[in-house]
Structure formats: C-alpha cells, structure tokens
Amino acid sequence: MITIALSKGRIFEETVPLLAAAGIVPSEDPESSRKLILGTNRADVRLVIVRATDVPTYVQYGAADLGIAGYDVLLEHGGAGLYQPLDLEIAQCKLMVAVREGFDYFGAVKQGARLRVATKYVESAREHFARKGVHVDLIKLYGSMELAPLVGLADAIVDLVSTGGTLRANQLVAVEHVQDVSSRLVVNQASLKLKRLGVQPIIDAFAQANVHHH
C-alpha cells in the first residue's frame, strides 16, 4: 500500500492533474467527503487528508510514504527525514512582510526601531530579519495574520501573498519579499528504499507531468 498525504483546498485541486498523470484517481472529493482516508482507482494507493502544516510530519514518521507540502510549511518543519525530489510549481505565492498603509517600515528599520512582527512563519521570519539585521520581536499566530497590525498587536506581519487582494481588503501593503513559495513533493526516506517499486513511478509521473505543464 502506498499512502499519499495531501491537504484540502488549493493543494488538493492542483494535485488532481498530477495524480491523474500517475494513473491515480481519487474515489471521493475531500471537499464534500468527511472521510480522512480516501481510496483511489488503484487498490494499492490511498490518500490521507491532513492539515497543510501536518503533511511533513505524516511523511517524516512514515505514516504517509509521499506528501505534497508548501515550501513555507517545509521551511518551518525543517525537512528532517524527508527526501524532496521535486518542486511541483503548484500553489505559487510569495512570503512577504506587510504593514498598515501609511506605516513607514523602511524609516522604522533605518532608525533601528525594534519591530513587533506577527506571523505563522516564525522560523522563516527570524531568518529573514536576522539576514537584514532588523531587530524584531516575533509573535506566533495560527491564522488571520492580517488582523494583527489593525488592532495594534504588531507593526508588521509575515504572510503568504498571491494576488494581494486580502492585504488590500485590510488596508495593508507588502513592503518586503521574504521567499518565493510553491508546493513540493516530499517522500519518506525509508519508503523510497523499501517501497521503491511503488513509489518511484509516482515520482517519475509527477516529474513528467510537471515538465509538460510548465
């Protein structure tokens, strides 16, 4: 049995064509099903539906052989025990620093002010501001980062941006690029050795589909 860990939403939607290229068709739609383990057209392949941030953990411990996770999530996880053979180039976005419209971010940085930064991405943020030599106090949040500068919890946020629509809707502006993000295939290192016959063709099919798509 080959187990693939996926998260609902964007990543699942953009993974369906890749699965199809590997001859794998989910038997149910995770958006409408409440099942956490989904069968496929192949008796030897199943999907487990987990939170995006949990995908690397399931694969690291071998509860899933393969998974698809955002690079944002992988940077926070650290990647221990994971083989990362492919950037699938799906779910593309950018990790950015954003502030309230009118907040002089670069002025504050120039003056050496200590900034309060709210984010789900504490590791990536810590590294970014250290590289820039900016002093920050990081506040860990689990969602709705956009709210933090509006209610005085933080001066800035580090969050994913694609169209910028959510920032604009909350009168925030992106001021600094941290990291390009897309989703990657991750593989359990033991599975790659012990289940190579099952796992490698899936990796190859994803790689092929990716070449054709881009």
Q: How far is the CB of 100 from ligand ADP (least distance, A)?
A: 20
> Coil, strand, or helix at residue 195?
coil
Which two three-digit tokens encode residue 17? 């064509």
The region of 86-94, 96-104, 171-179, 202-210 touching ligand ADP under the rule CB under 6 A is 86-94
Is residue 86 within the footprint of ligand ADP (CB under 6 A)?
no
The region of 34-42, 60-68, 70-78, 205-213 touching ligand ADP under the rule CB under 6 A is 70-78
**Residue-by-residue DSSP string for 159-181:** EEESSSHHHHHTTEEEEEEEEEE
Which two three-digit tokens encode residue 110? 């120039």
Is residue 186 within the footprint of ligand ADP (CB under 6 A)?
no
Cβ proximity to ligand ADP, 183 vs 195, nearer residue: 183
Cβ proximity to ligand ADP, 38 vs 68, nearer residue: 68
> What's the one-letter identity of residue 189?
Q
Provide the mask over 48-67, with x wherever binding to ligand ADP is found by CB under 6 A and - wherever it is not.
Answer: ---xx---------------
Q: How far is the CB of 92 from ligand ADP (least distance, A)?
A: 6
Which two three-digit tokens encode residue 188? 């359990």
> Coil, strand, or helix at residue 142?
coil
Residue from 160, 167, 186, 187 touching ligand ADP (CB under 6 A): that is: 160
Residue 96 DSSP symbol: E
**Alpha carbon separation from 14 to 75, 144, 209 (Å, rounded):** 21, 23, 12
Strand partners, 26: 40
- Cα(47)–Cα(134) distance, rounded to whole angstroms? 42
Residue from 47, 93, 99, 134 touching ligand ADP (CB under 6 A): that is: 93
Residue from 24, 64, 68, 73 touching ligand ADP (CB under 6 A): that is: 73
Q: Do 66 and 185 contact (CB within 8 A), yes or no?
A: yes
Residues forming contacts to ligand ADP in the complex (CB under 6 A) are 7, 9-11, 51-52, 70, 72-73, 91-93, 160, 162, 181, 183
